[in-house]
Each structure stands twice: as structure tokens, then as C-alpha cells.
């Protein structure tokens, strides 16, 4: 379904599935007299919550992104993210603001399978990008959010697009529901940047824990206190280190799992998650959970006889970690790592899943 937001809603196509209907309903809500809309948080770092935001501030957010990317009236945008979350809603708001043509594709893993035309703008999760590499050259401006982009995926993107001689620009995003999508972007193709750069009008600082504080009055009247540990380069740039909630304290040593995951993903294509599991001697024992569909059961643990999985274990064991205590005490394979509906890894649910696995008869 293609909606031309330069034209009245009465002149648009008729929805053919539930997702198209939901998107059209949200467009109508945007044009209603109500000054606010309801947003649902992802629930990746806690209990999902629903809160109201002002439409005017969503338009401010949309303007920041549209101006940065140079989107113009009549450009084609592709929405392939759940409309319940801020990521999907903001694709609609950006399209309304710039009178874009909005192509609606029901969210799935392989979003671009049936796309055979150029797309000016699209937002996707890393998982969606992983499954759409052969069509990325059709997208002129792609933003990736919902989870960090692994080094392995960056390499695949670069290799694929260089072969196609594509003019595609790809950015990793930083943001949250409270900032109405992203407030900073980091280019990963054609140039690979090391720092997120915030939009104009966004101020960043650190609290006493070295966690990021955000003041973006056009988006939220309050100073937003995050639990994201960052390093600030200058008043406009920062580097994400990890969530303070995820920091693992093993025998008195603080371990940042996101940094270790980045290292492992430079060498292993699988999704990997480092966790701290309660341990009498260490306080928390560092373990590595590795996703692989070759596991016969969900939550098949360390004793999987599959030789290919054992080879993966050996590769990880042979990696050169900066500190000796960065090497996982245990490697566990699971068939599938739990995720929230919008694709983010759910670490809380993963911990619960591992508890259930440990209670199974061996």
C-alpha cells in the first residue's frame, strides 16, 4: 500500500491487511483535533508503559530528522516497523511533515523481499537489515535503531554496498521513547564514525555515575536522566559504553557487557549476549549466551554435541580479551534469544530463561 500524504486521506488506497489499517488509523489520529497521542515503550529495560506525548513535539522531532537527511516533498518513505511504538509512529509523522509518499510493508524479518523500486528513506532494526542486504542499495537514506549495530553487520553492509556502487547513506541511531525517537546519529556507511552526533538544540552532559543526561526542550520539557554510560567527546558528540543496569560485578571488577559483545561480534556472526549470573564466590559469574538455530532445543546448554557449535566455543575461548576476567566462565547456546515485539534483545527475559534451563534434568 502506498499513501501519498500530499493528497487528502479520502483519495488513498483501501487497506488490505491489519497493519495497513493500523497505519491509516494513526494517520487519521495525527490529523484529529487531539493535541496528544499515546506511545508505548518497548519494555526492553523494564515494564512496558504507555504515556502521552504532544503532537507538536513529535513534529519537532520529525523536522530534525528530515532536515538532517534532506528529505523533500514527494520522496518515498518505507514504514516496516510496528506502529504501536515510537519508531513506527515517527515514520508516519515525518511523512506527514514533509508530505512524503509512505509505502507500508508489514513488519517481518525480510522487509525488502518484494521491493523493486528506489526508496528515499527507511528505518529498520539490525535484524531486518541483516536479512535485507541484497536490497539495501535501493534505499538512499537508512537509519538503524532498536539495538546496537554489530561490527559483523557493519562489515557486511560495507562489503555489499561497495560492490553495488550504491549512493546509500546508513546511520545508527541513539534515542528512546521519551526523546520521541532518536536525538543523535552516527554514520556507518559510506563513512564509519566513532561518535554519535546530537541534533541542533539538544544538550548533553554526565551525572555523577557517568550516565548521559539529555536536555532537548523541543522534544521534552524535562531533563532526561538515562542509565546509559557514555564517554563525551565534545558538547555535541558522545560514545555509548553500555547500560549501567547491565554492568556486571564479578569479584569486585566492573564489566561492561556491551563492550565485550562488540569484541566478540567482530569475530563471530551470531548474536551474543554477556550476562552476570549470581555466584557464591564471585558475586556474579560472567557467562556468554550465543544464539544459534542449530541448537535442537530452545535453551540447549553447554553440553551440545554439535561439533560446529563446539568450534564456535573454541573460537571464542581463543579470543584475546583485554582483561583475564573478561573471558566468560561459561558459554551457553540457545536456539533463540528472547526479544521484545520491536526486535530489541530482552535481557531480563533471557536471564529468566536461563534459570528455567538450569532447572531442567540433565
Q: Which helix (H) or strand (E) holds 53?
A: strand 50-54
Q: How far apart are CA 171 and CA 141, in angstroms?
A: 8
What pLDDT, on a 0 to 100 scale, did the predictor assign at position 318?
86
Residue segments in the chain with a per-residue pLDDT below the cut of 70: 42-48, 296-306, 342-343, 358-362
d(CA 112, CA 132): 6
- pLDDT at residue 301, as a whole number: 47
User: What is the model's pLDDT at position 359?
Assistant: 64
Q: For 84-106, what is the HEC assignment?
A: CEHHHHHHHHHHHHHCCEEEECC
**In whole angstroms, what is the distance from residue 53 CA to residue 56 CA?**
9
Residue whose cell numbers read 571488577: 253
Supply the DSSP symbol for 329. Answer: S
Taking the C-alpha atoms of residue 112 and residue 125, their distance in angstroms, rounded to an integer, is 13
Q: How many CB atoms within 10 Å of residue 47?
A: 7
> How far is it, in rounded angstroms, from Cα 230 to Cα 234?
12
| Strand bridging mode 76-79 / 101-104 | parallel
The three grid cell numbers given for residue 198, joined into one nine-digit string:
546530537
> Rounded to 5 degrees, what are φ and ψ at 80?
-140, 25
| Residue pair 78/101 in contact by the 8 Å Cβ criterion | no
d(CA 273, CA 85) in angstroms, rounded, equals 24
Query: Contact, 70 vs 53, CB < 8 A?
Result: no
Among 148, 145, 343, smallest CA distance to 262 is for: 148
Question: Minimal CA–CA distance to 313: which of 292, 335, 336?
Answer: 292
The pLDDT of residue 47: 62
The rounded distance, in Å, linking the Cα atoms of 246 and 335 is 22
pLDDT in tens, 255-277: 999 989 988 888 887 889 999 99
Contact status, residue 192 vs residue 154, Cβ threshold 8 Å? yes
Q: How many C-beta atoms lie closer than 10 Å to residue 313's C-beta?
A: 17
Residue 14 in grid coordinates: 483501501
> Which helix (H) or strand (E) covers residue 64, if one does?
helix 55-69
pLDDT reported for residue 300: 46
Q: Which domains, from first to last, does the chain contain? A: 2-199 (3.40.50.12780), 247-358 (3.30.300.30)
Closest-CA residue to 42 (of 176, 222, 143): 176
> What is the C-alpha separation between 286 and 253, in angstroms, rounded?
11
CA distance 115 to 128: 14
Amino acid at each position: 500500500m502506498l499513501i501519498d500524504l500530499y493528497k487528502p486521506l479520502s483519495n488513498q488506497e483501501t487497506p488490505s491487511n491489519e497493519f495497513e489499517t493500523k497505519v491509516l488509523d494513526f494517520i487519521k489520529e495525527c490529523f484529529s483535533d487531539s493535541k496528544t497521542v499515546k506511545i508505548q515503550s518497548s519494555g526492553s529495560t523494564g515494564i512496558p508503559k504507555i504515556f502521552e506525548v504532544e503532537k507538536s513535539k513529535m513534529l519537532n522531532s520529525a523536522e530534525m530528522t528530515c532536515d538532517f537527511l534532506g528529505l523533500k516533498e514527494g520522496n518515498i518513505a518505507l514504514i516496516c516497523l510496528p506502529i504501536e511504538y515510537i519508531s513506527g509512529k515517527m515514520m508516519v509523522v515525518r511523512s506527514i511533515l514533509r508530505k512524503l509518499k509512505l509505502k507500508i510493508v508489514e513488519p517481518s524479518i525480510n522487509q525488502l523481499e518484494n521491493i523493486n523500486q528506489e526508496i528515499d528513506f527507511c528505518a529498520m532494526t539490525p535484524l531486518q537489515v541483516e536479512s535485507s542486504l541484497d536490497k539495501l542499495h535501493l534505499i538512499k537514506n537508512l537509519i538503524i535503531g532498536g539495538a546496537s549495530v554489530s561490527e559483523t553487520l557493519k562489515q557486511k553492509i560495507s562489503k555489499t554496498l561497495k560492490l553495488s556502487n550504491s549512493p546509500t547513506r546508513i546511520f545508527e541511531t541513539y534515542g528512546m521513547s521519551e526523546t520521541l525517537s532518536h536525538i543523535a546519529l552516527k554514520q556507518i556507511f559510506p563513512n564509519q564514525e566513532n561518535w554519535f552526533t546530537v541534533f541542533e538544540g539538544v544538550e548533553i552532559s554526565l551525572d555523577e555515575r557517568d550516565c548521559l543526561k539529555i536536555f532537548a526542550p523541543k522534544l521534552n520539557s524535562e531533563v532526561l536522566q538515562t542509565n546509559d554510560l557514555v564517554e563525551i567527546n565534545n558538547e555535541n558528540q558522545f560514545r555509548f559504553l553500555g547500560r549501567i543496569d547491565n554492568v556486571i560485578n564479578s569479584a569486585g571488577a566492573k564489566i561492561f557487557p556491551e563492550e565485550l559483545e562488540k569484541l566478540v561480534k567482530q569475530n563471530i556472526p551470531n548474536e551474543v549476549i554477556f550476562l552476570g549470573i549470581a555466584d557464591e564466590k564471585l558475586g556474579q559469574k560472567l557467562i556468554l549466551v550465543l544464539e544459534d538455530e542449530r541448537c535442537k532445543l530452545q535453551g540447549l546448554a553447554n553440553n551440545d554435541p554439535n561439533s560446529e557449535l563446539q568450534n564456535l566455543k573454541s573460537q571464542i575461548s581463543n579470543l584475546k580479551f583485554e582483561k583475564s576476567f573478561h573471558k566468560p566462565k561459561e558459554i551457553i547456546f540457545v536456539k533463540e534469544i528472547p526479544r521484545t515485539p520491536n526486535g530489541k534483545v530482552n535481557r531480563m527475559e533471557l536471564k529468566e530463561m536461563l534459570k528455567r534451563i538450569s532447572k531442567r534434568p540433565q
